[in-house]
C-alpha cells in the first residue's frame, strides 16, 4: 500500500522533510498524492481554532481520502491526513508517523472538523 513509504518517519518541530511535524506531513502528502502545494499553516490555522470559510476550506461530514482532519491538541492544533472514513496518517511530537483510527473517542472528542 502507498502508505508504507510514509509510516515511521521521524518527528521534528517545524519539520518539512525528511523529518516532519503534523502540518509538514500533511503538506508533503498533498504534494505527493495530489500534486498540490498547500500554503503553510499560518494561512490556514488560527490559534487553537480554524476559520475554514475565510481560508477557502469546505467543512465536510463524509470524510474520504485526502481530507484534512483538524483536532484540538495540547496548546495548539493537530492535523492528520484522512485515508478513509475512519483512519488517518499523522505524526505526533513524541513518536513517528503512523496510521491510526481517528474514528474513536480519543480523537472524535477533540475533533474540530474535516475539511477539503
Domains of the chain: 2-37+55-115 (3.90.1720.10)
| 33 φ/ψ sector (left φ>0, alpha ψ -120 to 50, else beta) | alpha
**CA max distance for the chain:** 35
Distances from the Cα of 105 to the Cα of 58, 62, 110, 111, angstroms:
24, 18, 8, 10
- What share of the chain has pLDDT > 70, as a percent? 85
pLDDT of residue 43: 46
Distance CA 104, CA 96 (A): 20
Distance CA 94, CA 50 (A): 24
Distances from the Cα of 112 to the Cα of 4, 8, 101, angstroms:
27, 26, 16
Q: What is the pLDDT of residues 67-104, one digit of tens each?
A: 999 998 777 788 999 999 999 999 998 899 999 999 99
Q: Give me Rg for the CA atoms of the chain.
A: 13
pTM: 0.88
Distance CA 96, CA 56 (A): 30
Amino acid at each position: 500500500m502507498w502508505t508504507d513509504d510514509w509510516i515511521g518517519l521521524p518527528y521534528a518541530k517545524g519539520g518539512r522533510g525528511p523529518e516532519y511535524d503534523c502540518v509538514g506531513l500533511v503538506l508533503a502528502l498533498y504534494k505527493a498524492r495530489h500534486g498540490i502545494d498547500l500554503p503553510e499553516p499560518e494561512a490556514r490555522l488560527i490559534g487553537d481554532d480554524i476559520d475554514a470559510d475565510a481560508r477557502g476550506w469546505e467543512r465536510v461530514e463524509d470524510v474520504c481520502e485526502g481530507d484534512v482532519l483538524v483536532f484540538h491538541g495540547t496548546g495548539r492544533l493537530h492535523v492528520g491526513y484522512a485515508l478513509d472514513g475512519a483512519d488517518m496518517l499523522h505524526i505526533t511530537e513524541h513518536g513517528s508517523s503512523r496510521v491510526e483510527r481517528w474514528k474513536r473517542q480519543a480523537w472524535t472528542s477533540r475533533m474540530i472538523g474535516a475539511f477539503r
